[in-house]
Amino acid sequence: MFTLKLRKIGLFSRALASASFSRGFSNHGRRLEGKVALITGAASGIGKATAIKFVENGAKVVIADVQHELGEHTAKELGSSASFVACDVTQEADIARAINFTVSSYGQLDIMYNNAGVACRTAPSIADLDLDVFDRVMSINVRGIVAGIKHASHVMIPRKKGCILCTSSVTGIVGGMAQTTYSVSKSAVVGIVKSVSAELSKHGIRINCISPFAVPTPFMMGEMRKWYPGVEDDVIVKMVQDAGELKGANCEEIDVANAALYLASDEAKYVTAHNLVVDGGCTSIKSLRLPPPNRVTE
């Protein structure tokens, strides 16, 4: 009798495991089926790569960007599952309008990806920091994200569900990898996510961020050209890629898009307040880069 009960329990456990496995993979090719996403800064770069990945996985996507012509072009590229709305994240009213546009167009907002950001070029020393530039960068990289979270919560809290994503950077984790202004702004994003998650988790809303290594997007290349005038683009790209720790692979837009897809999908249903670092070990590895012993001379 006891053996029979154990056998029944075993069969039930295997059936339950099989059902769970099936649920996890039954919709593997369309992991965001039925969901609606709003992505800021999605006219190009990481935002565009993520928009493409979301659409491929069944989502309706609203591309919000300050670059009107490029944003319209990207939306047309993605077809009927995408649309464009003009949005300057420094203007809270623009963010509210973009979210209202999303809800009125598709009836809901499931994923808010605060991706828009700006780099900066200021004096390398804190003693010479231009605080006007600092304020401008913070208004986009920090205030814009807070505004996105604020207005997304207006829609998500009543529904008791939703996913909010934010783009941070490895420069917000390790000092000295970028100028102070940019690093401070990206460090703040990680702090915002952890702080806000304490409230949003009570409403069933997940919030996470992604911290990628340098990706040679149009955004980044534009800044690098200012630092290295006259240097060919392929040389700049190689410089960036060679700075990575994981040999044989480079950080690309698709890597960040894949991370966003995971965090936005039901596969990450119990992941919140997390900073997903996509850096090939950069922030965990410190190499002395000493020459091999046989090359050291007395």
Helix (H) or strand (E) holding 106: helix 92-106
Which is more confident, 1 or 38? 38
Determine the Cα–Cα distance for residues 175 and 258; give it in Å rounded to an integer: 26
pTM of the predicted protein model: 0.87
- Do residues 99 and 89 touch, judged by C-beta distance below 8 A? no
290 pLDDT exceeds 80? no
- pLDDT-derived band at 2, boundaries 50, 70, 90: very low
The neighbour count for residue 257, using CB atoms within 10 Å, is 21
Determine the Cα–Cα distance for residues 25 and 32; give it in Å rounded to an integer: 13
Q: For domain 32-215+250-281, give the CATH number.
A: 3.40.50.720
Catalytic pick among 106, 182, 262, 270: 182
269 pLDDT exceeds 70? yes
Which is more confident, 147 or 235? 147
The confidence score (pLDDT) of residue 293 equals 62
- pLDDT-derived band at 28, boundaries 50, 70, 90: low
91 pLDDT exceeds 90? yes
Structure confidence by residue, pLDDT tens digits, 209-243: 999 999 988 878 887 888 888 989 999 899 888 88
Is 182 annotated as catalytic? yes
The confidence score (pLDDT) of residue 291 equals 66
Domain ranges of the chain: 32-215+250-281
